[in-house]
């Protein structure tokens, strides 16, 4: 499974318009593209930073979708009243759900950098260390790991039942991340928290 993420610098006041566009325009059009399996949107309502992610059943399907996906992405950026800052394509290495996200769910994303030759070690550490420890924290809903084997760039995400659950998990999550990145041989580039504004990323269990 593969994914494309598009980071958009939205105007915070336009985020609800963007969510409506995603639901009413983007998703129905994506559903007509062969190999599409899901869509999500994370939004930081304070800064306006939004990340829309589409999932694909194969790398070939993801690449073939680029031409049709671009105008949909541009339309979403227009509704969000901000530019597309970055488009990235990933291999989905891990996807695990304990519970559905539900209304009001939030997510924490950690971007890491490692040697490309070390990607399998990162994946193994996430599966055997990060996942079981995160599952023990109240409010945990799901976790995923996306990797770029060519560059060594990685992003891990955990989903929490509510903003309070996200806040309550922060200290323990920081400890888990610090220990895991030492074992992975990876550097933390950024950690950011978002509202999970739209959650239809129907990727099967991959843990």
pLDDT tens, position by position, 32-74: 999 999 999 999 999 999 999 999 999 999 999 999 999 999 9
Average pLDDT of the residues in 16-39: 93
Q: Does residue 204 have a pLDDT over 70?
A: no
The hierarchical CATH code for the domain 2-201 is 3.30.70.100
Please state the pTM of the whole predicted model: 0.93
Q: Does residue 145 have a pLDDT over 70?
A: yes
98-126 burial, b for 16+ CB within 10 Å, e for fewer?
Answer: eeebeeebbbbbbbbebeeeebeebbebb
Residue 196 in tokens: 């999970």
Among 91, 119, 71, residue whose Cα is nearest residue 3? 91
Q: Does residue 101 have a pLDDT over 80?
A: no
> Residue 201's pLDDT is what?
72
pLDDT-above-70 percentage for the chain:
98
Q: Does residue 207 have a pLDDT over 80?
A: no
Q: Does residue 98 have a pLDDT over 90?
A: no
Q: Does residue 137 have a pLDDT over 90?
A: yes
Domain regions of the chain by residue span? 2-201
Q: Bridge partners of 167?
A: none
């Amino acid at each position: 499974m593969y994914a494309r993420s598009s980071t958009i610098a939205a105007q915070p006041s336009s985020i609800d318009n963007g969510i409506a566009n995603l639901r009413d325009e983007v998703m129905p059009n994506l559903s007509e593209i062969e190999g599409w399996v899901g869509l999500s949107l994370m939004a930081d309502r304070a800064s306006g930073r939004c990340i829309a992610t589409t999932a694909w059943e194969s790398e070939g399907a993801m690449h073939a979708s680029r031409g049709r996906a671009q105008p949909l992405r541009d339309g979403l950026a227009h509704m969000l009243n901000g530019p597309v800052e970055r488009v990235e394509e990933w291999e989905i290495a891990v996807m695990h759900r304990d519970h559905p996200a539900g209304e009001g769910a939030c997510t924490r994303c950690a971007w890491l950098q490692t040697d490309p030759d070390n990607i399998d070690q990162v994946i193994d550490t996430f599966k055997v260390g990060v996942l079981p420890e995160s599952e023990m924290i109240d409010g945990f809903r799901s976790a995923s790991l996306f990797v770029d084997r060519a560059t060594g760039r990685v992003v891990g995400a955990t989903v929490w039942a509510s903003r309070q659950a996200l806040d309550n998990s922060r200290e323990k999550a920081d400890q888990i991340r610090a220990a895991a990145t030492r074992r992975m041989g990876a550097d933390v580039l950024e950690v950011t928290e978002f509202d999970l504004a739209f959650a239809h990323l129907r990727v099967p269990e991959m843990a």
